[in-house]
Structure 1
Amino acid sequence: MSNVTSSQTNITDGQQFRGLVELLLFSAPITLSCCVFLFINCTMFFTLRSKLLFRETSRYILLYNLLFADTAQMALSQVLYILSACRVMLTYPVCAVLTMLCVLAKDVSPLTLVLMSLERYVAVCYPLRHTAIITIRNTEVAIVVVWAVSSLNVLIQVLLLLEFLELENLQMKELCSIENMLLGPVYKDYDQVYTFCLFVSAGVAVTSSYIGVMVAARSASTDKASARKARNTLLLHLVQLGLSLSSTIYSPLVFSLTKLVDRKTILRIQSILYVCVILLPRCLSTLIYGIRDQNIRPILIGHLCCRYKLSVVLTAKVSV
């Protein structure tokens, strides 16, 4: 009898060890990738606060707001990923706080892209009135409105959540995620409708700004170089909007794949999709914008390479 018990214990220990190894194999590279992306975004933060030009120019203030929302969403998504990978079961209130903050940051990004597109539209189509319309105060008010609209959506979701939440049992039966917090059909329908309206409205606004710039570029009184740069910037905003939209297909795609492939395969696919669809767009969009900008590029590259240069100098001193 003792031999049977010992054998069962060894099998259980072996399964736990394999589960731990599997967890490390899948989680460590993703966590490392997230740390790299967070480092790049934090460097971008530092860059946008390093010069007075960036702090007192509307488009850079809007870029900072976009970067803040993307970085917050990236960090919160990684926290949720680590909790899920470690099989940590949370209570509904704790999970609701994490997921609602993630929703708030996710909603701010497309609305900020709309503001950035309108700013470029005014700069090209109304150059003489640009400084009067796009002021620091107006930009700050617009950012406050963006956060207020996003917060209102979160408040509505919280109220819908409380309607379906059983207060007698706050412990979640599943892992914490936005999808597992959709407790009722009304909640799910509202989330889908709001997301659809948000991205359609943002897409229409950015596309309309692009068309307006294209029309203005044909005018003889318009600066061709400025119009061309604005057109390329608006195209970038459309790409950024598409990257933001890509995060909404992550969960449905993973859910569909679970019916087709085994657990190990779905873990690998889920990890790749998480990096490519959730993490990478939050870093790539602002990084591309920063590299394209002639004012940001030299400072950003200098900050990103500072550690490399420092290590080279220290190595040279040690060798001497």
Structure 2
Amino acid sequence: MSSISPSLTNITVQYLGLPEEVMISVLTTLPSCVFLVINGIMLFTLRSKPVFRETCRYVLLYNLLFADTVQLAQSQVHFLLAVLQMTVSYPVCTVLIIFTHLTAVVSPLTLVVMPLERYVAVCYPLRHAAIITIRNTGAAVTVIWTISFLNIIIRTLLFLELFEKLDSLEVKGLCSDIAILLGSKSDHYDKAFTSFVFVSAGVAVMFSYIGVLLAARSASTDKALAHKARNTLVLNLIQLCLSLSSTIYYPLLISLSMIVTRIILFRIQTVFYMFFIILPRCLTSLIYGLRDQTIRPVLTYYLCCRLILPVVENKA
């Protein structure tokens, strides 16, 4: 039997009228689809030219953006299940959550590697080409996905351990992380692993930022490169904070569920969903796509359906 009380797993939609269900579905699905299209174009852009495919930081950016895009699509599916009041069984819910965790871990782990790449570029410019190679970057991406796969394997084993103790196969409420935390082991593992990932990413960003600041004071350092790297690291930190914000999504809802009615709770949940789930998943393409001078003209070219013809043909 679950150690989580029913009140915590019952964050779902009840007693909403059809017009409100349709309105909420449209208000969340429309921006999600828009950003999915933008992210898809950004992903295509990062594979469209050799300069993107053969530059390590663009390979890492592709990995980050791919994970965020899949996360956005999966999150919208979960949210629509809640809006349409569709109940699922524990096995189905577990599969959905497992695929969510597969990509959810990739984003912060990629943010561990990306700051270190900028740190090497600024602090060890002569050795950058030897250290940060496509082969090493591919190995780093492989390690990231391996850790993510190991995470979902452990989560699956913890679920199977308590599966036989369930009174019913049907999830009581919204299919979410909370619904499948069936015991103290699952809860403790979830908190420990999440803390490990985000602490690792935070340490990597801060270490790289301090290293770049110290290197910028050196007379031999390229000041323009150091300034650009510092700004990039600040953006990495912002992205990490945005990713971390999604982890407080359910705890906030749980706290609010004790003091507000279900209808008000779900309306608050809709706002939280827009800011904590959709927004962090769509900012990667906007931040990097509009900021990077190499990506920007190519991305604009494809976003405008090739109607604008800038001098892109000779780019890269």
Quick check: TM above 0.5?
yes
Structure 2, unpaired ranges of 5+: 1-13, 310-316
1:308 is displaced (CA, Å) by 7.8
Deviations 1:44-82 (A, max 9, x none): 111111111001100000000000110111111111111
> Using the alignment, how far apart are the partners of 1:240 and 1:274 within structure 2?
17
Q: Which residue of 2 aligns with 1:250?
A: 249
Q: Which residue of 2 aligns with 1:200?
A: 199
> Using the alignment, how far apart are the partners of 1:307 and 1:132 within structure 2?
37
Q: Which residue of 2 aligns with 1:99?
A: 97
Q: Could you say which structure has the higher helix fraction?
A: 1
Q: How many residues align?
A: 295
More contact order relative to length (CA 8 Å, sep ≥ 6): 2
Q: Find the residue that maps to 2:125 and give its secondary structure.
A: coil
1:175 is displaced (CA, Å) by 2.7
Q: Which residue of 1 aligns with 2:292?
A: 293
> Using the alignment, how far apart are the partners of 1:98 and 1:307 within structure 2?
37
Code of the residue aligned with 1:247 in structure 2: it is S
User: Which one has a bigger Cα radius of gyration?
Assistant: 1
| TM-score (norm: length of structure 1) | 0.88
Q: How does 1:1-320 map to 2 (within 5 A)?
A: 19-166=17-164, 169-306=168-305
Q: Find the residue that maps to 2:137 and give its secondary structure.
A: helix
Answer with 187-196 or 255-264: which moved more.
255-264
Q: Which residue of 2 aligns with 1:5?
A: none
Q: Find the residue that maps to 2:260 and give its secondary structure.
A: coil
> Using the alignment, how far apart are the partners of 1:25 and 1:208 within structure 2?
45
Deviations 1:133-156 (A, max 9, x none): 111111001000001011111111
RMSD: 1.9
1:262 is displaced (CA, Å) by 2.3
Code of the residue aligned with 2:287 in structure 1: it is I
Measured at CA, do residues 181 and 307 of structure 1 come closer, stay the same or move farther in structure 2, by a change above 3 Å? farther
Measured at CA, do residues 111 and 17 of structure 1 come closer, stay the same or move farther in structure 2, by a change above 3 Å? closer
Contact between 1:69 and 1:106, CA under 8 Å: does it hold in 2? Answer: yes
> Using the alignment, how far apart are the partners of 2:29 and 2:193 within structure 1?
31
Q: Find the residue that maps to 1:128 and give its secondary structure.
A: helix
| TM-score (norm: length of structure 2) | 0.89
Measured at CA, do residues 125 and 83 of structure 1 come closer, stay the same or move farther in structure 2, by a change above 3 Å? same
> Using the alignment, how far apart are the partners of 2:172 and 2:201 within structure 1?
36
1:167 is displaced (CA, Å) by 7.4
> Using the alignment, how far apart are the partners of 2:180 and 2:169 within structure 1?
12
Code of the residue aligned with 1:165 in structure 2: it is F
Contact between 2:301 and 2:307, CA under 8 Å: does it hold in 1? Answer: no
Contact between 1:63 and 1:286, CA under 8 Å: does it hold in 2? Answer: no
